[in-house]
Structure 1
Amino acid sequence: MSKFKKKQGGDLPAISTASLPDIVFMLLFFFMVVTVLRDSNLLVQQKLPKGDQVEKLKKDRSIFIYAGKPGPQYQETYGTEGKIQIGDKYTDISNIKFALNELRAKLRPELQDKVMVALKVDEETNTGLVSDIKQELRDLNMTKIIYITTPGNQLDN
């Protein structure tokens, strides 16, 4: 009489799925952490001027205003004149105050008085448009203005 018996069937044992939820949640967490969500869709062309004294900007208390010609896909609808973009839509000079007050209200209360306005202006944009934007910012008492540029020296062209 033998102590060990041979298996009668050639069945494979069932696969344990106990760790499957852990793996799924680990993957979900990984993709949530590494995915960057875009804040706004850029509707204007942005060929920024070069600057030799460039600093990094903290985005927690800043509002971005984009100015430039409409992008190629929007030129049939909006023409080729310089436009102002705040958030995901074009804004007229008369509506800047409303749009900026709305964005200021979304910031944390302690940062609402310390708002920095970042202007991303295309290098071929009319200076009059920039002057109009700055006048509206003065009326709102938003005097901390930063011009966004690309690193480099303008004279090296």
Structure 2
Amino acid sequence: MRPMKSMFHQSRKSVPSLNVASMPDLIFTVLFFFMIVTHMRSDEVKVRLQVPQGVEVQKLANKQAVVNIYIGREGTKESKGEAGRWAVQLNGDIVNPNDIPALIEQIRGGLSAENQSRLTVSLRVDRKAPMGLVSEVKRNLQKAYALKINYSATEIKK
């Protein structure tokens, strides 16, 4: 017969330790994967902008189907001295407003069928830009059937 003490006494088993030596390698591999897979889209702005302010500002939901058009004076923020002539920049290049319909069609051709119908043009216009130039850009967008236009502004701090 067994003694009572040994029947209820349980031996303590040690939990095997987890080897964390390869943890940094795993973290850097995952980080590298997401850096490669993530598509960062940013345009180098080649025109000077003083964006107007607004009270009810909303963010765009689907940024995959957005074409950015900047209207401002030629020259970057970093360039010193007087700004140049008024210019139109579509995504990354300064363009002639009359070339906008062909460029929009080219961009639309590179989108998926779902995003082609969602194509939105985001206009970032300098607050002192001539309205004649803005109207010319809008007329050329109509020719390209790019009818969803978003006007960009900064929110007024309350």
Structure number with higher helix proportion: 1
Shift, 1:52, TM fit: 0.6
Question: Which residue identity does 2:138 align to in structure 1?
Answer: K
- For residue 67 of structure 2, what is the aligned residue in structure 1? 63
- Identity percentage over the alignment? 26
Give runs of ≥4 in structure 1 deviating > 3 Å: 31-38, 72-76
Structure 1 match to 2:96 = 92
Residues 36 and 110 (structure 1 numbering): CA distance in 2 closer, same or farther, change over 3 Å? closer
CA distance in 2, matches of 1:60, 1:88: 16
In structure 1, list runs of 5 or more residues that go unmatched: 1-17
* Residue 54 of structure 1 pairs with residue 57 of structure 2: yes
TM-score, length basis structure 1: 0.72
CA RMSD of aligned residues (A): 2.8
Is 1:137 aligned with 2:141?
A: yes
Q: Secondary structure at the match of 2:133?
A: helix
SS in structure 2 of the partner of residue 66 of structure 1: strand
1:73-152 residue pairs with structure 2 within 5 A?
Answer: 73=79, 80-152=84-156
TM-superposition CA deviations, 1:53-110 (whole Å, max 9, x none): 111102122211111011253989xx71111111211111121112111111222111
Q: How far off is 1:39 after superposition?
A: 2.2
Q: Which runs of 5+ in 2 are unaligned?
A: 1-19
Number of residues of Structure 1 aligned to a counterpart in Structure 2: 134
TM-score by length of 2: 0.72
Structure 1 Cα separation of the partners of residues 156 and 74 of structure 2:
25
Partner of 1:69, secondary structure, is strand
2:52 aligned partner, one-letter code: P
Question: d(CA) in 2 for partners of 1:148 and 1:37?
Answer: 20
Cα distance, 1:126–1:48 mapped onto 2, change above 3 Å: same
Shift in CA distance, 98/54, structure 1 to aligned 2, threshold 3 Å? same
Return closer, same or farther for 1:65/1:74 CA change in 2, 3 Å cut-off: farther
Write the distance in 2 (CA, Å) between the matches of 1:144 and 1:84.
18
Going from structure 1 to structure 2, the CA distance change for 1:25 and 1:45 (only over 3 Å counts) comes to farther
